[in-house]
Amino acid sequence: MSDDPYKVLGVGRDATDAEIKRVYRKLARQYHPDRNPGDKAAEERFKSIQSSYDKIGTDEARRKYDESRRMDDFFRSSPRSSNSRFSGFDIPDIFSQMFGGQQNNRQARDRQEQRETYRGSDITSGIDMDFSDAELGCKLEFDHRRLRTCAKCDGTSFGSTRSCVGCDGRGVTSRTSTIIVKIPPNSKHGQKIRMRGLGHDHPLGKSGDLILTIRVDAKEGRRWEDGRIIQSVEIPYSTLMLGGKCSLRTPSGDSIRIDVKPGTQIGDRRRIPKMSFGDEDLDVEFVLEDNTKLTDAQIVALERLRDTGL
């Protein structure tokens, strides 16, 4: 089973925190040991779901996981790495690449030239909001953590033998602050906002940028897929097979009834024009109604169907 919590939970990396929580709750109910007594596979799946949610279930946990994954990718992709994550590197080289490295091969001759040559890494993260905030525009608080140039040595201990009690010779320290992010009107899910100079500082150069991806909450029973809203609609098995109608409330707030064709399969979709956020098209996905408790009449009917081979 994948160790990637996004894959375990079946959500995209652009999923909102609320969407992740909703998916987790559904999967946890489905695979809970109390609901699957004696089923070892379901028990292991439940443990994996719980572990994945612990990694990305909160904004802070998710941010730490994403940062850790980016660092792991950095070390794995380096041709100079070996069994030790730091083997083959010298410390200035590691931090130079972490902070964005040189933009050309010319060695800076003085600090001013270095500041033009070096640049801190960009920081990528997501910021969640309701559709109304994205449509009308708003201002949101964002807890921002980044590497800042050490106030004690002004970054001069980076890449040298000089020690500094403030940064332990790294030239930078980690600091957290709360910033205000202005969301422009008519913003879309997946849209990026670049805030220049708010990425990681480079101790010898310029700061990188903060790049925020807008994540619009799709609300209960919906999810984002390739920039489009997918809304799950639960249908009884009889309606799937025989056809009929079903009711749903769209993201635009309308209550509608749509036809279900005979022989509809679980997972089939139907596109409804201009019924999603911002008059976009809505994709409805048919799923089987989850009946955990059956009436006596339903049990008798199912037994008769089983006898007929259905």
pLDDT of residue 68: 77
Q: What is the DSSP letter of 156?
A: T
pLDDT cut 70: percent of the chain above it: 84
From 222, 211, 227, select the one nearest 284 (Cα to Cα). 222
Pick the more confident residue, 66 or 70. Answer: 66
pLDDT, average across residues 129-139: 93
- Placement of tokens 């024009």 in the chain: 273
pLDDT of residue 78: 41
1-86 and 218-310 have identical folds: no
Taking only the tens place, the pLDDT of each residue in 237-266 is 889 999 999 999 998 888 999 999 999 999
pLDDT given at position 75: 45
Determine the straight-line distance between the first and last CA of the chain, rounded to whole angstroms.
33
Which fold does the domain 90-216 belong to in CATH? HSP40/DNAj peptide-binding domain (2.60.260)
**Is the domain 218-310 a CATH 2.60.260.20 member?**
yes
Task: Record the tokens describing residue 55, joined without a space.
Answer: 């990694």
Q: Please give the order of strands across the beta sheet that includes 222-225.
A: 222-225, 228-235, 282-288, 269-272
The residue with greater pLDDT, 222 or 278, is 222
Confidence (pLDDT) at 296: 87
Question: What totals of helices (H) and strands (E) does the chain contain, helices first?
Answer: 9, 11
Q: Hey, what are 68's tokens?
A: 């850790």
Give me the chain's average pLDDT, please: 83
Is 0.75 topped by the overall pTM? no
Instruction: Write out the DSSP string of 158-189.
Output: TTSS---TTTTTSSEEEEEEEEEEEEPTT--T
pLDDT in tens, 94-125: 454 455 554 444 444 555 555 556 888 899 89
Helix (H) or strand (E) holding 76: helix 59-77
pLDDT tens per residue across span 206-235: 899 999 999 999 888 898 888 889 999 999
Rounding to the nearest 10 degrees, give the CA dihedral for residues 101, 94, 99, 169: -120
Which DSSP string corresponds to 100-121? T-BSSSSPP-SHHHHHHHBBPP
pLDDT, position 59: 83
Considering only residues 181 and 253, tell me which one the structure prediction assigns the higher pLDDT: 181
Distance CA 204, CA 166 (A): 16
User: What would the pLDDT profile of 140-151 be if each residue is shown by its tens digit?
Assistant: 999 998 989 999
Strand partners of residue 288: 235
Number of neighbours of residue 74 by Cβ within 10 angstroms:
15
Q: What is the CATH number of domain 1-86?
A: 1.10.287.110
- pLDDT number for residue 60: 82
For residue 71, name the pLDDT band (cuts at 50, 70, 90).
low
Q: pLDDT: is 163 or 72 the higher one? A: 163
Return the minimum-mean-pLDDT range out of 75-89, 157-171, 240-254, 269-283: 75-89
**Residues with Cβ within 8 Å of residue 305, at least 6 apart in sequence:** none
pLDDT at residue 67 tops 50: yes
Report the SS3 class of residue 97.
helix
- For the chain, give every domain's residue range: 1-86, 90-216, 218-310
Residue 87 is predicted with a pLDDT of 34
